[in-house]
Amino acid sequence: MRSVYFVNIPGFYIEILRLKNKTLSKRPVALVSQCVKHAYLRNISEEAREAGLEKGMFLDRARRICKDLTILPLDSKEEHKAFKPLQKWIAGYTPSWESLKPGHLFSDLTGTSRLWGSPSEVIHRMQTELSQTFGLPSRIAEASNKMVARIAAKSMPLNTTTVIETGHESRFLAPLKACVLPIVHSGPCHQTLQDLNIQYIREIQNMKTHQLFPVLGSLTHRLKQEAQGIDPSPVFSPQKQPEISRSAFMEPATNDDKKLLQTLRQLLEESLIRLRYLKQKTKSIKLIVIYSDGVQHEATFSLKESTFWEVDLFPQYVKLFEKACQRRVSVKALNIILSQLEHTPAGQEVMNLFIHENRKRDRLLKLYHSLDHIRLRFGMQAVRTGML
């Protein structure tokens, strides 16, 4: 039986800031990347949520709703830096851990009960360590898979823990609202469930597959699985993530192609540096453009040969952008996903048969190597690419 833990530190960076500044505790706090009226709330504290604020809300509106709101700038670099010790901490339990964003950690401790004790002992220990060593509040849940552990943790109050015993997943999920299941948010599933007045997971559990299949089609199988508490997805270690994604919020939202292309290039550059660091190459780039009215458009580009070099991808990104961004509505966010990753041991570069081109390429690759070194030492912002 699998034993997956989900550690959730809500408003992670806010908690980090609170550790530095005690006056922030128990006050509604929101993080924005720039302190301008049209900035979006990137993260909020529990107190802010209770005051009626939501992530993604305009700062201006949030201030009108919550007069006592403390606004702080979100420093992603600092946030990631602060999250590193936690990653190190969870890695002390198992090499099989996954972190998609700061404050969210999955760890797979299957077969380690003799080493670490029973799940309830482990989660208690984890919470104590988080509280005592790091001074952070948390919600921790243990279950037989990622989905149930995550739902369980998210449905609990702060500083509590829970263990969902194997075989009890379905019973645990039954009284919860159907919208907590991840599949409900994909495609027409949510609307169909609303039309059928299916509000709780227990109703999905009670329906037979052949009753659901004609109305939900291919989503039925996964919906039934999720409603029963089944999630076969493994906990991916950082090196084994199936894709790399980077996103950027445009603040303020803009429809200026120049600014958007600049940001996209930066995202691509960051992703490729990460790929090189992981010694992985990509064969597919997907660009998702999120407009300020919520509409999303995407475009994908597949490469003949996998790569992690700018020289191979930069000629394509403008075309990719033109394909994905055809409306004139301002763009709120850009998201780039590099997938179909292939592990490439060092030195296994395919040589170009044309010597002249080879030399030119070599020079460029050397340049990128040097830039990588500078960035590794002085940070991503130390060297920036300009556009003519």
Could you tell me which stretch among 89-97, 114-122, 195-203, 227-235 binds other proteins (CB under 8 A)?
Answer: 195-203
Task: Please provide the distance, in angstroms rounded to a whole number, between the alpha carbons at the two ends of the chain.
Answer: 57
Site for other proteins contains 217 (CB under 8 A): yes
Of 84-92, 129-137, 175-183, 322-330: span binding other proteins (CB under 8 A): 322-330
User: Who's near 36: CB < 8 A, 6+ residues apart?
Assistant: 59, 251, 252
Q: Check: CB of residue 73 under 8 Å from CB of residue 13.
A: no
Using DSSP's 3-state secondary structure scheme, residue 1 falls into: coil
Q: Which residue in the set 207, 235, 264, 334 belongs to the binding site for other proteins (CB under 8 A)?
A: 207
Identify which of residues 33 and 192 has a Cβ nearer to other proteins in the complex: 192
Half-sphere exposure of 287 (CA within 13 A, CB side): 25
- Minimum Å distance from CB 243 to other proteins? 29
Q: Is 110 a residue that touches other proteins (CB under 8 A)?
A: no
Rg of the chain's alpha carbons, rounded to an integer? 23
- What distance lies between CA 199 and its chain's CA centroid? 27
Question: What is the x/- site pattern for other proteins, positions 21-40, by CB under 8 A?
Answer: ----------------xx--
Whichever of 20 and 208 has its CB closer to other proteins, that residue is: 208
CA angle 104, 109, 112 (to 5 degrees): 155
The single residue among 12, 97, 106, 291 that binds other proteins, judged by CB under 8 A, is 291
Residue 75 phi, psi (nearest 5): -110, 100
Answer yes or no: are the C-beta atoms of 173 and 183 closer than 8 Å: no
Number of residues that bind other proteins (CB under 8 A): 33
- Is 292 near other proteins (CB under 8 A)? yes
Map the footprint of other proteins across residues 49-108, applying CB under 8 A: 60
Give contact residues for other proteins (rule: CB under 8 A): 37-38, 60, 192, 195-199, 203, 206-208, 210-211, 213-215, 217, 252-258, 291-293, 328-331
